[in-house]
Amino acid sequence: MKAIVYHGINDIRLDDINIPEINENEALLKVHAAAICGTDLRVITSGHRHIQENETRILGHEVAGIISKVGEKVKGLKKGMRVAVAPVSGCGVCRQCISGMQVFCGKDIVLGLSTNGGFAEYMIIPEPHIKGGNVFILPDNMSFEVAAIAEPLATVFTGLSACEVKPADVILVIGAGPVGLMHMQMAKIFGAQKVIVSEILDERREIALKFGADRVVNPLKEDLKEIIFNLSYGRGADAIIIAAASAEAQSQSLDLVAIGGHINFFGTLPKGKDKVVIESNKIHYKNIKILGTTGSTVLNYYKTLELLLSNKIDLSKFISSKFNLDQYHEAFETAKSTSSLKVIFKI
């Protein structure tokens, strides 16, 4: 089968390898759609703690397809089922796992990072994923492409839940990449009265407006603070989601948030550049809740897929281009471009 394999930093190849053999507790997925994530791009240029130096790995953790083989001891899955797979499973018994935060299990298994992922014709669904409830059976009317990008949307759902977004809240999203735009649309589903998007790139601000932002701001040319306070009747943003790799945005957010508001450092900063100056008295005097979220619980993944079925959010609009595996080079280049949203491999 064809597979996009990471052989080391900046060494990605399209390899022809055997279709993997499953054991009695695993299932084999015929992949139909797998989306490129910022994490994949970072792995290619910087490696990942889950991949040892002499190891190779098929990347891709945003994935959906059809079950093509099921191990004898697997319960609940059958050949021919259309499914999406939540990427992270854990040991199932530790404190993090039983609270639903498999992402923090010390023995976490992540598709495309600690085990081979979905940028291939076939992918093994590991036993802990099957037993952990990570395999979601798709309704007939949900496309594989949309199901694949439900994964980042689930992380967005988790991020906004942590910010306790309520009706009448004014939300500021900093960064209008695909994940920032998902925050913007999801915040409206959470009931936010207004979502303001701050973004320095013209083309992304335009997309944000098209996608329903109430106001877009170029913070290099406009006074973001003044705009936020005007639009929030003088109180500041009730929640700020920083979906950009900007240390400056992180420290500035304390001036933009309302008293008692939430700030989510959702985007990661580049390695070694995460020392940020924060005026901590502002946290104290304004009762600000600064938090971070990473990944999603399996439960939030399920909730996100259900939300998609309600048609409140049209994820297909987030797919900006589709490629086959042979075009992997072009696909990764396109995914890096600031005018791209989600780039999908149709397999």
- Whichever of 19 and 94 has its CB closer to Zn ion, that residue is 94
Q: Is residue 37 involved in binding Zn ion (CB under 5 A)?
A: yes
Q: Which is nearer to Zn ion, 49 or 275 (CB)?
A: 49
Shortest Å distance, C-beta 63 to Zn ion? 10
DSSP character for 251?
Answer: H
- 132, 302 in Cβ contact below 8 A? no
* Single-letter amino acid code for the residue at 142: M
Phi, psi of 245 (to 5 degrees): -85, 70
Residues within window 137-176 making contact with Zn ion, judged by CB under 5 A: none
Taking CB under 5 A as the criterion, the residue among 105, 142, 163, 319 binding Zn ion is 105
Q: By CB under 5 A, which span of 90-98, 118-126, 169-177, 237-245 interacts with Zn ion?
A: 90-98
Residue 183 phi, psi (nearest 5): -60, -40
Closer CB to Zn ion, residue 35 or residue 192?
35
Per CB under 5 A, the list member of 60, 65, 90, 159 interacting with Zn ion is: 90
Interacting stretch for Zn ion, rule CB under 5 A, among 92-100, 278-286, 301-309, 325-333? 92-100
What is the Cβ-side half-sphere exposure of residue 158, based on CA atoms within 13 angstroms?
A: 24
Sign of CA dihedral 210, 33, 59, 154: positive
Q: Say if residues 168 and 188 touch (Cβ distance below 8 Å).
A: no
124's tokens: 């093994």
Q: Does 86 bind Zn ion (CB under 5 A)?
A: no
Interface residue with Zn ion, options 1, 14, 19, 91 (CB under 5 A): 91
**What is the rounded distance in angstroms from the CA atom of residue 176 to the CA atom of residue 178?**
6
Cα 315–265–203 angle (5° rounding)?
Answer: 50
Q: Is 94 in the site for Zn ion (CB under 5 A)?
A: yes
Please identify, among the stretches 37-45, 115-123, 192-200, 229-237, the one whose residues bind Zn ion according to the rule CB under 5 A.
37-45
Task: Write out the residues near Zn ion by the rule CB under 5 A.
Answer: 37, 90-91, 94, 97, 105
